[in-house]
Amino acid sequence: MKVLRIYIFKTNILIIKNIPYITIFTILFIFCQHFTVFAQTKTASGIASYYANKFQGRKTASGDKYDKNKFTAAHRTYAFGTKLKVTNIANGKSIVVTVNDRGPYSNHRLIDLSYAAAKHIDMIQQGVIEVHIEVVSENYKMPSSPTKKGNSLSEGYYSKSLIAIAPPKGPLLQIGSFSVQENAFKRIEELKLMNIGQACIQVITVRRKQVYRVLYSGFHSKEAISQKKLELKKKGIDSIIVDTE
């Protein structure tokens, strides 16, 4: 009987000593696999790539098999099943994808898209592009693409990801005015490495037709914007100073 009591006593100590560590490890493992990290932002911008064809049929981190014909994506932290609206900043085209995998494993990329999703926003040729992502509800429905004929934007100011914004303050630098929306996005993409300022698009109506003006803000004075205009002129880029006051 004494031997039995000692055995039970030692066993209880062993259980009490080790269960907390096992429990903590298990909880952390499940949390990392299935739940979003706290303080996860609902919007972000960064670089997107897409799955190579060799991954077709392979099991993803969620357990689903990768299907290149479905609108899915891999993200490092968003919970499986999260719906993300992904917008190609260069052309304004968007798609809603479902997160069902982990990745990308490169710190320089934000998201990996399925082949179908990448094709929908015209990024197959480039391979990697700059995108804006936004968490949307389960019942979110994509609006018709604003680049399609017959579907226009309301007059006003828009960010590079086609989100309506307040009119920029201070003097603006206009570098291009286009009748085709996609050409305005291409212009911004061409100039993105020149550090001109904060880019946006203004939609106006001229003779019953919409015009897309590429504008840059962020100039603290008229002297600063005049200096930037001169710098661009030396590089062969014409611009117009727009006074918003």
Higher-confidence residue: 18 or 124?
124
Q: How confident is the model at residue 196 (pLDDT cuts 50, 70, 90)?
A: very high
What pLDDT sits at residue 153?
A: 74
Q: Sheet holding 198-206: strands in order across?
A: 164-165, 156-158, 198-206, 209-217, 172-178, 240-242
Give whole-number Cα distances, 213 to 60, 99, 179, 191, in Å: 43, 35, 9, 14
Q: Please say if the pLDDT value at position 3 is more than 70.
A: no
Contact assessment for residue 160 and residue 89, using Cβ atoms and an 8 Å cutoff: yes
What pLDDT sits at residue 145?
A: 43
Contact assessment for residue 220 and residue 204, using Cβ atoms and an 8 Å cutoff: no
Mean pLDDT value across the chain: 82
Q: Please say if the pLDDT value at position 5 is more than 70.
A: no
pTM of the predicted model as reported, rounded to 2 decimal places: 0.52
pLDDT (tens digit per residue) in 85-101: 999 888 888 899 999 99
Give whole-number Cα distances, 7 to 2, 13, 19, 62, 63, in Å: 9, 10, 18, 43, 43
Closest of 123, 54, 40, 113 to residue 89, by C-alpha? 123
Cα 229 to Cα 237: distance, rounded to the nearest angstrom: 9
Contact assessment for residue 58 and residue 112, using Cβ atoms and an 8 Å cutoff: no
Contact assessment for residue 214 and residue 192, using Cβ atoms and an 8 Å cutoff: no
Mean pLDDT in residue range 46-60: 94
Q: Please say if the pLDDT value at position 162 is more than 70.
A: yes
pLDDT (tens digit per residue) in 214-230: 999 999 888 999 999 99
pLDDT (tens digit per residue) in 131-158: 999 999 988 876 544 443 434 578 899 8
Closest of 194, 195, 199 to residue 176, by C-alpha? 199
Q: Please say if the pLDDT value at position 15 is more than 50.
A: no
Q: Please say if the pLDDT value at position 18 is more than 60.
A: no
